[in-house]
């Protein structure tokens, strides 16, 4: 039996410390996600070398990644954003993605940012729904018209990139067989989704809900089983496990309803954001090569340029919202839309692990994402003077 690694104590302490630091009274409040990454960097092998992301620690980090993607799928409630907000968000994301592709082709051609074009373009077109939703909730703007458009943009800004990176792994089989596996997985996912929809009106769902007040916690265990099942199927079919975890989250979202559904969401939220997901971000920080930021003379320029590109790419679709947003709301909307650390970390890790992206390029990309999370929501608040609630 593997010895219980002492690194877990440091990781648990960092996970506890991050929200405490985020809650300190300050005019510059940093999101918990960014603090978790920073603390992981400090305890990792590239700074103080207190812990290494290997063995059990690495395994927990991978579980955290799967649960994070599961929670992303779970948080996207298309029923609340359907109609005009959703259609604008979809159109806006395609504008962002194709603009990002054009920008990255150009900067790769001139040698200023030499990063895999599709991976970089996907990262630039992401939006962090998990970071923005608590901010809007604290300001009591989550359910306003402005908040609805932001949430719709963030939801599609996570859904679109996830679909792309789910298909990015190089096929382990020939093209026909790989496409067959994708089609098979989609059919299985649709069957499971149909079962979930049927369960919404089934009395069995109510009976299962009562076990959440006991040690059985059957609905929670079913959700975990579904996640593991779809992640395993995705892996067996030669697909990215991200596709399996994300699909599982969306299927659970289809099944839940009412107060019992909210209770299930709270329990899954506690497992994810209280345990596994912080470990993923801390481990990601431990893998972050800080020295890459000054190993090349162009690194600071590249980080700044990527940050500007994130704002340009996600702000470009503003012309679609000329009748939906007031002039005072447009620039804050662009800053919110350009906030995108979590998926940037995931995209960078996939790029490095698959050999498509060097570690120094990944570090620069993640650095831009970290700055966006720490800076853009604050600028959005300052610019949109209507929001006066502290956060």
The string of DSSP codes covering 138-175 is HTT-TTSHHHHHHHHHHHHHHHHHHHHHHT-SPPSS-H
pLDDT at 97 over 90: yes
161 vs 195 pLDDT, higher one: 161
Do the beta carbons of residue 115 and residue 305 sit within 8 Å? no
How far apart CA 170 and CA 192 sit, in angstroms, is 26
- Per the prediction, the chain carries an average pLDDT of 82
pLDDT band for position 2 (cuts 50, 70, 90): low
Q: What are the sequence ranges of the domains in the chain?
A: 31-383
CA distances to 67, 281, 298, 312 from 225, in Å: 12, 23, 47, 41
The closest alpha carbon to 166, from 337, 343, 309, belongs to 343
Quick: pLDDT tens for 254-267. 887 666 677 888 88
pLDDT at 237 over 80: no
How far apart CA 280 and CA 214 sit, in angstroms, is 29
Average pLDDT over residues 82-105: 93
**Structure confidence at residue 387 (pLDDT):** 45
275 vs 361 pLDDT, higher one: 275
**Structure confidence at residue 388 (pLDDT):** 40
pLDDT at 204 over 70: no
pLDDT at 281 over 70: yes
pLDDT band for position 389 (cuts 50, 70, 90): very low
Structure tokens of 283?
């481990």
pTM of the model: 0.82
pLDDT at 390 over 50: no
Average pLDDT over residues 70-96: 87
Phi, psi of 99, rounded to the nearest 5 degrees: -65, -40
Share of the chain above pLDDT 90, in %: 22
Cα 233 from chain centroid (whole Å): 22
* Highest mean pLDDT, choosing among 192-201, 317-326, 359-368, 377-386: 317-326
Average pLDDT over residues 122-135: 84
Residue that is written with structure tokens 């940093």 in the block: 30
Quick: pLDDT tens for 315-329. 999 999 988 888 888
**Structure confidence at residue 135 (pLDDT):** 73
Looking at domain 31-383, its CATH architecture is Up-down Bundle (1.20)
Average pLDDT over residues 202-226: 77
């Amino acid at each position: 039996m593997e010895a219980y690694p002492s690194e877990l104590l440091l990781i648990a302490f960092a996970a506890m410390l991050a929200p405490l630091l985020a809650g300190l009274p300050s005019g510059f409040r940093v999101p918990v996600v960014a603090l978790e990454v920073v603390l992981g960097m400090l305890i990792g092998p590239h700074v103080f070398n207190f812990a290494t992301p290997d063995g059990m620690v690495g395994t927990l980090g991978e579980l955290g990644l799967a649960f994070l993607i599961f929670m992303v799928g779970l948080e996207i409630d298309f029923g609340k954003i359907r109609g005009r907000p959703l259609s604008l968000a979809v159109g806006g994301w395609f504008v962002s993605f194709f603009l990002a592709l054009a920008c990255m082709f150009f900067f790769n051609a001139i040698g200023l940012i030499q990063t895999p074009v599709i991976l970089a373009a996907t990262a630039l077109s992401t939006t962090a729904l998990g970071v923005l939703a608590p901010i809007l909730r604290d300001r009591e703007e989550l359910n306003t018209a402005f908040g609805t458009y932001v949430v719709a943009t963030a939801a599609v800004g996570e859904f679109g990139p996830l679909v792309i990176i789910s298909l990015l792994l190089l096929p382990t089989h020939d093209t026909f067989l790989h496409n067959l596996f994708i089609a098979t997985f989609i059919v299985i996912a649709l069957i499971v989704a149909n079962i979930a929809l049927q369960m919404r009106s089934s009395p069995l769902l109510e009976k299962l809900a009562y076990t959440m007040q006991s040690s059985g916690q059957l609905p929670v265990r079913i959700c975990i089983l579904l996640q593991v099942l779809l992640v395993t199927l995705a892996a067996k079919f030669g697909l990215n496990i991200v596709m399996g975890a994300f699909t599982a989250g969306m299927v659970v979202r289809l099944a839940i309803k009412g107060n019992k559904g909210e209770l299930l969401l709270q329990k899954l939220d506690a497992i994810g954001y209280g345990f596994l997901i912080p470990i993923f971000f801390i481990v990601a920080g431990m893998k972050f090569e800080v020295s890459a930021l000054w190993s090349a003379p162009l690194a600071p320029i590249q980080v700044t340029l990527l940050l500007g590109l994130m704002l340009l790419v996600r702000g470009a679709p503003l012309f679609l919202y000329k009748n939906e947003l007031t002039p005072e709301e447009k620039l804050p909307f662009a800053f919110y839309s350009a906030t995108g650390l979590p998926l940037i970390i995931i995209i960078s890790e996939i790029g490095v692990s698959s050999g498509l992206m060097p570690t120094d390029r990944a570090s620069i990309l993640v650095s831009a994402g970290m700055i966006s999370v720490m800076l853009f929501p604050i600028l959005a608040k300052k610019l949109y003077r209507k929001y006066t609630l502290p956060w």
